[in-house]
Structure 1
């Protein structure tokens, strides 16, 4: 008797594994300097402070119980206060929804806001996690390119004038991943105006906003319109393993997200949410902790930029990071970074080719570099290895 194998859902046919996650498996070797992963530096994570908060939390057995689907109430109050200060208006705890990292927030929002075939505007190059979510939702994705001031709103306006009607515009507005740029205040205001004029949601993905180097980031896009849904997490300022993210949205959106989350995982972890509450409430400690991260990452970013420009000169152009974790670079010759990658790995350095972030048109000469997990000497050595890889590939 022959067996008929059950089929998987058709929507899986168009999905691909993240090229970055796949690359991380290849770069786990000790002999490779990885500038590929978007990881915060584990050495800067507050292990002892987290342990102390965990010990305190565990004195109350309630932290081992299920919590509300919308999140630990005390944490929602803390996030509401922090977001109120950033946005410049009062955010109530009813507008705060805690999720299992901000990626879950994005996934749940896609289910709430998008019907199959709905148009989503993303930036080009695009955040890979957003592409995975929107493709899984069956959205039609159109990319708008970035320049040094963020999303090209003139091109977005042309799309709107041509009759396109997005349901959602997604932006990593501050210290863009992977583009390394920040949307200017003027463009933030204009994007909000366009959302209100044409009736679309803006999802402002902001995991890096507190990681500024020399001056604070501009006011969030959410400062200019109630049609902006903000996402963030503590992964970059505390630790990814806490798995605490959130969205800030109108109450009706939060309630819709709640219905879906109940069907996905019921609720998040009371324990890690209480730990996070403790750390976020300890303002003097938190301020010093984040300042240390900013100083360290800022020094590393400047070191990497200097090494790249000293080594490659006009052959490579790169952004000047003012915060965040990444810089975006482009070879000015015909260097194909996807083709170069195996040779780079052989010489002991890893990066992410720009093609991994492309929506439609690939950019073969581009690459993303992460500067957070290596000290200055290691970053200089990484650039030297990249230079060697280019020589090897050219047969020099």
Structure 2
């Protein structure tokens, strides 16, 4: 008699691996210039300063022990101080919860805020990690388009007027991934007015806010309303390997997240929390470090955009990179970027097709380009290679 094979949970039906993570495997070849992965530049990560912080932390045996589920108190205190400055109001430590990267924060929030079938509004094109989380939670996902000023809050207002009642609206407010745009201040205010009038949460996903080039990002969406839950991390400013992210939310949300995190992994790493606390508290050093990262990324972004516009002319329209890590580009001559990708890889350049980020719009002629991990000359060469196979 054949054994009866146990089943997996039905919620896995329809879930797919991140196409971007799968693409990173292909682009690991040394001959490929990758504009695909959303990776910070390892050469700009402060290895020496991290090593000093790690050595200092290891002087205390307690860093090898379990820590509190909401995070090491010293780290939460530093984050509370930094978030208070950014938001413009006092953030108590009780409203800060440290997670294993901000992706875990998003995942835990989906469990806390969403019942199966609940409506979630996302931006279109959308952050792939958010789509994975909300689909796994069994949410009904509706997309609202982006334009040059970010989320089309007027379209959201129309949906609300038509009777839609979201539980959550998710926005990557600064230097959008993948769209490269920033939510305008007046839309931030209007979004929170709608949240308070209709009783939904706003999740402000902000891993890129400190990576501005010419001028700082606008005041956070969270500065307008307590119904905004802010997410951020040190992955883009210090190093992803620390796996330190956080959420800032009302106490009742943090308490609910704590219950779920205890079931997921009990707590984070006291060692990496202590390292992150040391680096974030060293404000003079941190300011200099982030300025160095901004300067490097700003020069690379300018070179990439210039190369696209000079090489392709009117065939490709791309966003102006004012911060963050990405440029969003659209072919205007009906070039299909998914169909083009194998030839691009053969020519030694990689990007992410726009279809990966699609919710309602197919983005068949679009692509996301990441400028952080190559120097200016290499970025220009990547665009030259791309042009050579897309005529």
- Category of TM-score, reference length = shorter chain: over 0.9
Give 1:31's aligned residue: 31
**What CA distance in whole angstroms lies between the structure 2 residues aligned with 1:390 and 1:139?**
38
Match of 2:251 in 1: 251
Offset at residue 360 of structure 1 (A): 2.8
- For the residues of structure 2 that align with 1:181 and 1:361, how far apart are their CA atoms? 17
Specify the SS of the correspondent of 1:292: helix
- Give the ranges of 4+ consecutive aligned residues of structure 1 lying more than 4 Å apart after TM superposition: none
Which residue of structure 2 aligns with residue 94 of structure 1? Answer: 94
CA distance in 1, matches of 2:355, 2:2: 43
What is the aligned partner in structure 2 of residue 362 from structure 1? 362
Alignment length (residue pairs): 391
* Partner residue, 2:218: 218
Deviations 1:323-378 (A, max 9, x none): 00001000001100000000000000000000000013311100000000000010
- 1:324 aligned residue: 324
Query: How far 1:215 sits from its partner (Å)?
Result: 0.6
CA distance in 1, matches of 2:155, 2:373: 36
1:60-90 residue CA offsets vs partner (Å, 9 max, x unmatched): 0000000000000000000000000000000
- Cα deviations across residues 159-187 of structure 1 (Å, max 9, x unaligned)? 00000000000000000000000000000
1:191-340 alignment, distance < 5 Å: 191-340=191-340
Kindly indicate whether the alpha-carbon contact (under 8 Å) linking 2:261 and 2:267 is maintained by their aligned counterparts in 1.
yes
Q: Report the Cα distance in structure 2 between the residues aligned to 1:148 and 1:282, rounded to whole angstroms.
A: 36
* Cα distance in 2 between the residues matched to 1:242 and 1:258: 20
Return the alpha-carbon distance in structure 1 between the equivalents of residues 183 and 215 of structure 2: 15
What is the rounded CA distance, in whole Å, between the counterparts of 2:143 and 2:304 in structure 1? 29
1:390 partner SS: coil
Equivalent-residue separation in structure 2 for 1:321 and 1:99 (angstroms): 29
What is the alpha-carbon distance in structure 1 between the residues aligned to residue 123 and residue 254 of structure 2?
A: 25
In 1, Cα distance between equivalents of 2:81 and 2:267: 22
Q: Which residue in the other structure is 2:375 paired with? A: 375
The 3-state SS of whatever aligns with 2:219 is: coil
Deviations 1:96-115 (A, max 9, x none): 00000000000000000000
* 3-state SS in 2 of match to 1:17: coil
C-alpha deviations, 1:253-311, integer Å up to 9, x for none? 00000000000000000000000000011111100000000000000000000000000
Provide the rounded CA distance (Å) in 2 between the counterparts of 1:244 and 1:67: 14
Q: Separation in 1 of the partners of 2:246 and 2:187?
A: 24
Q: CA deviation at 1:14?
A: 1.6
The answer to whether residue 7 in structure 2 is matched with residue 7 in structure 1 is yes
Q: 1:198 deviation in Å?
A: 0.3
1:171, 1:361 → 2: CA distance? 17
Q: When the two structures are superposed, what TM-score results if normalisation uses the length of structure 2?
A: 1.00
Counterpart for residue 55 of structure 1: 55
Contact 2:36–2:368 (CA under 8 A) maintained in structure 1: yes
Which residue in 2 is equivalent to 1:164? 164
- Whole-angstrom CA distance in 1 between matches of 2:144 and 2:333: 24
Map of 2:20 onto structure 1: 20
Quote the Cα distance in structure 1 between the aligned partners of 2:320 and 2:360: 26
**Distance (whole Å) between structure 2 residues aligned to residue 24 and residue 360 of structure 1:** 25
Counterpart position of 1:45:
45
What are the Cα deviations for residues 122-159 of structure 1, in whole angstroms up to 9, with x where unaligned? 00000000000000000000000000000001110110
For structure 1, the 5+ residue unaligned runs are: 392-396
**Structure 1 equivalent of residue 122 of structure 2:** 122
Return the alpha-carbon distance in structure 1 between the equivalents of residues 88 and 369 of structure 2.
33
Q: Which runs of 5+ in 2 are unaligned?
A: none
Cα RMSD, aligned residues only: 0.5
**Partner residue in 2 for 1:394:** none
SS at match of 1:266: coil
SS state at 1:230 partner: strand
Residue 82 of structure 2 aligns to a residue whose secondary structure is helix
Give the deviation of 1:389 after TM superposition.
1.7
Q: d(CA) in 2 for partners of 1:116 and 1:292?
A: 44
Instruction: Confirm or deny: 8 A CA contact 2:40 2:373 kept in the other structure.
Output: yes
